[in-house]
Amino acid sequence: MAGGITCEVRDGSPVTVAQLAGTLDLTTMRQTYAALDRCLSCQPDALVVDLAALTVRDELAVAVFAAAARRAADWPAVPMVFCAPPPATAAGLAASTACRELPIRSTCAEATEVAGAAAMPRLRMRMEPVAAACRRARELVTEACARWNLPGTVDPASVVLSELVGNVVRHARTPMQVTVTLRRPWLQLAVVDGSDGSARLGRPGQRDEGGRGLLLVRELAERWGSAPAGDGKAVWATLLAN
């Protein structure tokens, strides 16, 4: 696409590198955000965004990087580091109030080192939409909290993750990716399913196989939310880790 944005992704462990190329302006902002959003939906441990081949035509458009970083901080809790901006791009980032807090490094190697150091401990598990998935979710939380010495978080986190998984079993009915992330002082629980239908809040007093579903999540979690993830969605919740 002439004048568009391309994104070449190099998957690494623990850092994924996304190299953006093309011309960034007010027209291609949405395309740029979509490309970074796809990278984040894969839940890498850390993401470096290489700007060396990107030309900024409109300085206001660099705000897209701040928007992507906010998305990454909420879910999937992925540290993002930007690198190698050409002089004009670097000037635009420096002049943007929205982008002043973004971590930016002059080389990809330096950015990769910084991003890798900021990568957060995670446990992941693929599950099928069967009744036993809720039990497996509780076992995953128990393992994570034991590994990270969080005895006070086991019970509420087990309930929350069981409800998130149960919601997929009852409504989305697709295979799911379950992730537990230690993001001190928080523990983040996330379930990605293959349905683009919105997460369903139960009604007060309603009971089903999993209790009161997302109403219970809302009561126990500090924050929770839902975001598009590939062809489906992610539902996540954050609890205080202790």
122-240 CATH fold? Heat Shock Protein 90 (3.30.565)
For residues 81 and 51, the answer to whether their CB atoms sit within 8 Å is: no
Q: Which residues have CB under 8 Å from 132's CB, separation 6+? A: none
On whether the CB atoms of residues 174 and 227 are closer than 8 A, the answer is no
Q: What tokens does 59 get? A: 């300085």
pLDDT digits (tens, 9 = 90+) for 109-158: 999 999 999 999 999 999 999 999 999 999 999 999 999 999 999 999 99
- Residue 9 CA to residue 7 CA, distance in Å, equals 6
* DSSP letter (8 states) at residue 99: G
How many residues are recorded in the chain?
A: 242
Arithmetic mean of pLDDT, 89-118: 95
> Does pLDDT of 207 surpass 80?
no
The Cα 202–Cα 188 span in angstroms is 22
Mean pLDDT, residues 81-103: 94
- What tokens were used for 50? 């290489």
In this prediction, residues 3-7 reach a mean pLDDT of 86
Residues with Cβ within 8 Å of residue 88, at least 6 apart in sequence? 55, 56
Q: Using CA of residue 38, residue 169, residue 75, residue 206, what is the dihedral sign?
A: positive
What one-letter code names the amino acid at 39? C
User: Residue 178: left if φ>0, alpha if ψ -120 to 50, beta else—which one?
Assistant: beta
pLDDT of residue 209: 45
Q: Which CATH number is associated with domain 5-118?
A: 3.30.750.24
The residues, ordered by sequence, that sit 6+ positions from 22 with a Cβ below 8 Å of its Cβ are: 3, 4, 5, 6, 28, 53, 54, 55
Q: What is the pLDDT of residues 58-78, one digit of tens each?
A: 999 999 999 999 999 888 999
Mean pLDDT over each residue of the chain, to the nearest integer:
91
Predicted TM-score of the model (pTM):
0.85
Domain regions of the chain by residue span = 5-118, 122-240
Beta strands in the chain (DSSP E): 5-10, 15-24, 46-56, 80-83, 104-105, 122-127, 176-183, 186-193, 223-229, 232-240
- Alpha-carbon span 33 to 117, nearest angstrom: 25
